[in-house]
Structure 1
């Protein structure tokens, strides 16, 4: 009897772009892909912190380089993708949150969140897929979404709207690009202990509410998302597209 073999989770020989790679979840994604063997292009707007990340990855024996990138500009995105060979993996972890009650949300904050979380995600995906199609190669595009793309939350109307929109966008792109071997998915974490979440987690009332909602009884750590992003990037997920991988400790199980 010939037993089936588990597809490889290794990413040797592949090149990945990770946006928002200078901190938090983006940094975790960059480290995870690099540790799995990919050459990782770490992208963010600020050069200083970005280079520190690349230096740390190289010191860890990984292959990485820095790319200063503002994902809000479709023209800049098109230029970056046209100047390089098509990436095998693109992880979009650039995101913005401006939390406020719905009645107190300003038009400026609404536009800023939507511009980063949805508009930029659309044009980044399109630029990545266009390059893959032109090169005649398959690929994996992964967006860091949120559990808030599947539920609502206190003072999260605009953020949740942007992530719900992202989930619909990804499903539609998966339908369009599947014929080219391009997979596109979302990874949806609960609250992860990062600088972005610090203000919320330092509020005792909010922290208690969060831990009550998370069935596993704890806030997520960056390491909790690393296996998921490697899975979605690898051959182990070769039949996975247009879907969301929830890393939420059971928050959305209700």
Structure 2
């Protein structure tokens, strides 16, 4: 059976959960290292494809299904904004291309280096193997299409009850969470929620590989580079 990989960004790079006959994980410093891993499908929690004007249909479709968890899905900035090195410059670029005018949060701005890292490597052909996913969307799918009752984080800190709920959903959905080797990373490098999110991405990757995934929007949208802008689970 061919391997799949779920990937989530973390403070020092990317945490990859590799699922084949067994399940393991690896810390990659660059996304190029992730691409070098053997896998039929790689599912990553990071935007692929940037709009010329603010707002992608993918986020709108996914967000309205997540109930109280919808705030975990942010509006993807414009390509012009993501290309900016400075925060004020990025806000100005996004303001000029959004209706109504919208700035960018500092939290999203800090993700720009990872967005640009993927974008520099991505091609339409590579999207046959690399897919954009979102952990909360995956957990929604595991939960029978219902929003989760508990948040993953409270005031920016991982919440044990929320993490326990997500571990339980992974187990019920057939992901071998108990077989995952212990994570020996510093919490400042890889958070417990980062690893759990990567597991959810790996679960989504297997559904993509097996033709079982759902994807929004229903009709694919593409950016100026021809990259598909869609979220799967």
TM-score (norm 1): 0.32
Higher-Rg member (1/2): 1
Q: Which has the higher contact order (CA 8 A, sep 6+)?
A: 2
The structure that is helix-richer by fraction is 1
